[in-house]
Amino acid sequence: VLPILQAVGYNTDLLPSMSSGTGNINELNNTDVFVRLSKLEHFYTLLYPQFGYIIPDALLVQLDKDNRQYKLTFIEVEAKKPKWEDYIEVKRGNYLKLSQDIEAYNEWKRCCLKLLLPVPTVDDFCFSVSFYGSIKKDFGEHFKFINV
């Protein structure tokens, strides 16, 4: 697909270089959520950053109609698994750690340059996290749980 996207002028710099999906249930669930996200009114793109201690399923970028303000939401698509409660709590801790990690800001800065978006100051950089699945928790203001 990458050559096709490149041929029609799509910026593929921020896409994963090689797809390695095998069509398992987790990948199908992720794809279903990603397709839904692509239909949001202010959808701009999905990115796939990795931070070592946390690898989000995606980073949703929503852009206002004037292309000046954007919202960043890390996406986690979760299916019930053993020790699910502990697993989700660890993810929460990792996202709280990420919110204080300068590497998250630096990665977003690199993305801004490739996407031609304004770079925020480090103090203005922020994001939220949305969990898609059947679990419901109260993790506070910047965490959202969406039933799918």
Strands 128-133 and 58-63: unpaired
Instruction: Give the C-alpha distances (Å, rounded to integers) separating 139 from 29, 58, 64.
Output: 23, 19, 27
Residue 118: phi and psi, rounded to 5, are: -65, 140
Tracing tokens 């699945």 back to the chain, one arrives at 133
pTM metric for this prediction: 0.85
Q: What is the pLDDT of residues 61-114, one digit of tens each?
A: 999 988 779 999 999 999 877 888 899 999 999 999 999 999 999 999 999 999
DSSP state of 68: S
Q: What is the pLDDT of residues 31-47, one digit of tens each?
A: 899 999 999 999 999 99
- Which pair of structure tokens corresponds to residue 82? 């053993």
